[in-house]
Amino acid sequence: MNALKALERRVLSVEKAILIVFVVLMVFLAFLQVVLRGAFSAGLLWADSFLKHLVLWVGFLGASVAAHEDKQFAMDAVTRLFQGKIAAALELVVALFTAGVSILLTRASWTFLEMEREAASVLFSIGHWHAPTWIFEVILPGGFGLLSFHYGVKALRAAAELAGFSAPEEDASA
Amino acid sequence: MTGILVALGTLILAAIGTPVYALLGGLGLLFFNWDGTDAAAVIIETYRLASLPALIAIPLFTFAGFMLAESNAPKRLLALSRAVFGWMPGGLAVVALVSCAIFTAFTGASGVTIIALGGLLYPMLREQHYPEKFSLGLMTCTGSLGLLFPPSLPIILYGLVAKVSIDDLFVAGAVPGILLILILCVYSMVVGLKTGHKGTAFSWAETATTAREAIWEIPLPFVIIGGIYGGAFTATDAAAVMAFYVFVVEVFLYRDIKFSDLPMIITESMVLVGSILIVLGCALGLTNYMIDAEIPDRLFQWMNLYVQSKVIFLIVLNILLLIINMVEIFSAIIIVVPIIIPIAAQYGIDPVHLGIIFLLNLEIGYMTPPLGLNLFLSNRRFDKPLTTLYKASFVFWLIHVVMLIFVTYMPHLSLWLLRCKSATP
């Protein structure tokens, strides 16, 4: 359990670090585009597609952190009524189902990514460098994979609680 | 039979707290599987997130809103509007309405208003002898007031999902939004007069001081709201300008936000963005499937058996939306809008007009018992029982509902300004 907790903390700090860098990059680049278009009526050609994919990355990473912090949109009116074992059992069902769907979505995204790699399309070019589209799509299986991981951990934790191994502990890094 | 089982299973899973994205993603995978389509087709739809034109406005506006909420901007805004409006009868209540509306619009109507401004305003109102019931009701309704003004997040999301111009929606929301605030102001003034409260004396010195303090934030509403209404820039450009501007102002000029606070603010704002985008991404496959399967058409044909007139359709729609919107507003927009847009079009309802109806419904849903989000936020913030809050917010709720009736049956209220705008080149 402790090794798992350490792994989760490490995954979370990597997610957050990438998220922060990408958001700062997005804020500056989006503003630069507006300025360039306003002043010279021409923005950077590659920036628009790049920004759109940054949004995709930021969205998936944010969703992954949201999964860890239990901030995904979900109805909580019913679950609020329960405590103890029943709450843990419901949590286990929810986490297992969510992890299962996320794993299927990860697999589907992987197939999608392989198709895109074969298609070998170019998202944009800067000088002689032609950025392959699929690199920016890695976040699809990556993001769903991270969601699977977080809900998998949640399921294990709920199962452990049900089996009476450990009381639920608050994650200090959250 | 299988269909009923799937529906039942989905409802049970939803009720015990399954994340909306997993429900939508699961249904998408299941339906595509029934059709014999490869699961990767679901992902092709999800990947459309990267080609939605104005999607970037969501993270940029949300980031800017969270920065403002964490800074001392709420205090400066409050001091300034107190100096400007405080002299009127019921002045403080008017101050509360105006500052909360602006704050809610700028923070994306995510519920921060009650938490951030409520704690400052409620004690002030009580100090000036406004009745407890009135003060609580006022604070509870302000949590969603301003939803119709740019750059509120629900409008942007509606525009994206409904494929309606976000700029048009912003223009259409202006008249109903301002009218609603005016009516609430009149009500507050009446209460203010009844309690014998005269308002504070107007002072030029006070106004000048508070204005000087807020000097860097004053341009924001004018540039962003004015820029969008005037057509100077699109919502996406406005988002880019605002995120950058707020960042520079709060970090370097006011120094309200330290560099060490930034990781927390970025993460928390992107948690909200991420939870919206993942639901949107998983819904794209499902809604596409439903449109291919002509579900909206079939629903329309079924409805048309019972409901022929536009007026009755709108009544049914309003009741339905009030119930749905109590659940969770962002998911409500993403799931319901693609289905009702084609149906409403059959009844001859303009999609922009429908948007304003929908969003005003959301605003009311926020304060409708028993599940409205504002009620829970007030319950937490002011430590008052929910039943007290139900009663306290009733008059405000009623005013909103009357406004909704006007907005629903007088399309001109929403479309007039838009027509004026498109008439002038």
Residue B324 has pLDDT above 80, yes or no: no
Judged by CB atoms closer than 8 Å, whether chains meet at B56 and A108 is answered as no
Read off the pLDDT of each residue in A106-126 and give the average, rounded to a whole number. Answer: 92
Which residues lie below 8 Å from residue B44, measured CB to CB, with a gap of 6+? A112
Give tens-digit pLDDT for B233-249.
888 888 999 999 999 99
Query: Picking from A55-59, A135-139, B198-202, B399-403, which range would have the lowest pLDDT averaged per residue?
Result: B198-202
Read off the pLDDT of each residue in A9-14 and give the average, rounded to a whole number. Answer: 95
> Which of helix, strand or coil describes residue A132?
strand
**Kind plus residue range of the DSSP H or E element containing A123:** strand A122-126
Give tens-digit pLDDT for A25-34.
999 999 999 9
User: How many Å apart are CA B225 and CA B230, to the nearest integer?
Assistant: 8
Residue type, B200: T
Residue A169 has pLDDT above 60, yes or no: no
Which residues lie below 8 Å from residue A5, measured CB to CB, with a gap of 6+? A171
User: How many Å apart are CA B262 and CA B152, to the nearest integer?
Assistant: 22
Q: Smallest Cα–Cα separation from B249: which of B208, B199, B215?
A: B215
Give tens-digit pLDDT for B47-99.
999 988 789 999 999 999 889 888 888 888 888 888 888 887 788 888 889 88
**pLDDT value, residue B424:** 61
**pLDDT value, residue B251:** 94
**pLDDT value, residue A12:** 95
**Kind plus residue range of the DSSP H or E element containing A124:** strand A122-126
**pLDDT value, residue A173:** 43
Residue A172 has pLDDT above 60, yes or no: no
Cross-strand partners of A124? A131
Read off the pLDDT of each residue in B253-275 and give the average, rounded to a whole number. Answer: 93
**pLDDT value, residue A174:** 38
Listed ranges A132-141, B220-229, B304-313; the one with the highest mean pLDDT: A132-141
Q: CA separation (Å) from A161 to A6, A76, A90, A97? A: 18, 20, 12, 18
A-facing residues of B in 37-76 (CB < 8 A) are: 38-40, 42-44, 46-47, 49-52, 55-56, 58-60, 63
Of B140 and A113, the one with more pLDDT: A113
Give tens-digit pLDDT for B81-95.
888 888 877 888 888
Q: What is the mean pLDDT of chain A?
A: 89
**pLDDT value, residue B109:** 64
Listed ranges B216-230, B238-252, B336-350; the one with the highest mean pLDDT: B238-252
Q: How confident is the model at residue B22 (pLDDT cuts 50, 70, 90)?
A: very high
* Helix intervals (H) in B71-223: 73-85, 91-106, 112-116, 118-127, 132-142, 153-162, 166-194, 204-213, 219-221
The verdict on A44 touching B (C-beta cutoff 8 Å) is no
Q: What is the mean pLDDT of chain B?
A: 87
**pLDDT value, residue B198:** 65
The verdict on A47 touching B (C-beta cutoff 8 Å) is no
**pLDDT value, residue A23:** 97
ipTM over 0.85: yes
The verdict on A34 touching B (C-beta cutoff 8 Å) is yes
- Which residue among A26, A59, A97 places its CB closest to the CB of B278? A59
A-facing residues of B in 348-377 (CB < 8 A) are: 371
**pLDDT value, residue B325:** 67
